[in-house]
Chain A
Amino acid sequence: MKATVLVRPKAGILDPQGEAVESSLRQLGFPVGEARVGRVIDLEVSAKDPSSARAEIERMCERLLANPLIESYEIELAEDG
């Protein structure tokens, strides 16, 4: 089963990359508000059903893929994976 994990800096956590992107976009003439930069991880997991896949990926996120102190994560499963 294929899955995508989105890792983001938590709200309120300083994100210098996001700030740099934001100011560059404004310089290019795009009137953007706040920009935040995170990370995308595409995965293939062996779990057969969505709930066990989700549980397994949550464990991956807590242990490695995200740092829960400063990052939040979101799991998207490709149902027809």
Chain B
Amino acid sequence: MKETQPRIGVVVFPGSNDDQDAAWALGALGAEPVRVWHGDEALPQLDGVVLPGGFSYGDYLRAGALARFSPAMQAVTEFAAEGGLVLGICNGFQILCEAGLLPGILRPNASLQFICRDVTVVVERTDTPFTARCEPGQELVIPVKHGEGCYYLPPDLPQEQIALRYAPGHNPNGSEQDVAGVVSAEGNVFGLMPHPEHAVDPLLGSSPRSWTRRASVSTPARSSALLSAPYARRCQERAFARGRGAPRAPSAGAPGRGRAE
């Protein structure tokens, strides 16, 4: 029997800038990405929704504060209330917090600096649809890039809603209790500051830690090992064909990698 391809919506707000990457990553994981415009009042038939990273509505007032009132977000709120799966990455996490779909709030980094680098996170919960393929306590290396990722943890938040923490010494932003990602009480809404959609392609240095074949942005419906060697080669060949895929530095161990010239 043919496996059905999950349809995952990616909401595009004015100022979103990771929507393309999110859609690409979803496609790489075997899902069918469907763009949803922020002005859309209804969602098409979907198996899940991703709120991508970026600076929706310029991050004016507070990050995510204006996006939460967009027509698409009203539809996403209803979708989540019906048990639909919603994943918010970075700005998407900020929007989910502002919308009250997730507890807490994200504030300017303690350092006041924009941070862009790889961090190690620890998976605290593996019984969510978003982390089901991880092992408890598994460490993942995922890039972060944000100016407002310092999580304010409401004092009454049950610890079990903390699904992802920065590994000891890796907290980049001053988040309370090293929180990197939280899940809703019902388990169907998940938000995280790191960018799993930037950690799916060996061209971007993710090959040795291609964790997405086991984790996160995959849907419960399907999450096969898509970063297998043939797939990785196909990605490289496609990028080389477009003339912008030259590896920054030659490195050992990547099959099929050649000089671009």
Contact = CB atoms under 8 A, between A and B. Distances in A.
A64 B152 CA distance: 18
Interface stretch (A11-19, A28-36, A44-52, A72-80): A11-19
Give the dominant DSSP class at B's interface: loop
A43 interface: no
B65 A64 contact: yes
Interface residues of A, number: 10
Contacts, number: 33
Contacts of A67: 62, 65, 98, 105
Given A16-B109, A20-B112, A65 B61 contact: yes
B198 interface: no
Contacts of B109: 16
A16 B112 contact: yes
A16 B147 CA distance: 12
B69 A70 contact: no
Q: Which of A13, A16, A17, A65 has the most CB of B within 10 A?
A: A16
B65 A16 contact: no
Interface of A: 13-14, 16-17, 20, 64-65, 67, 69-70
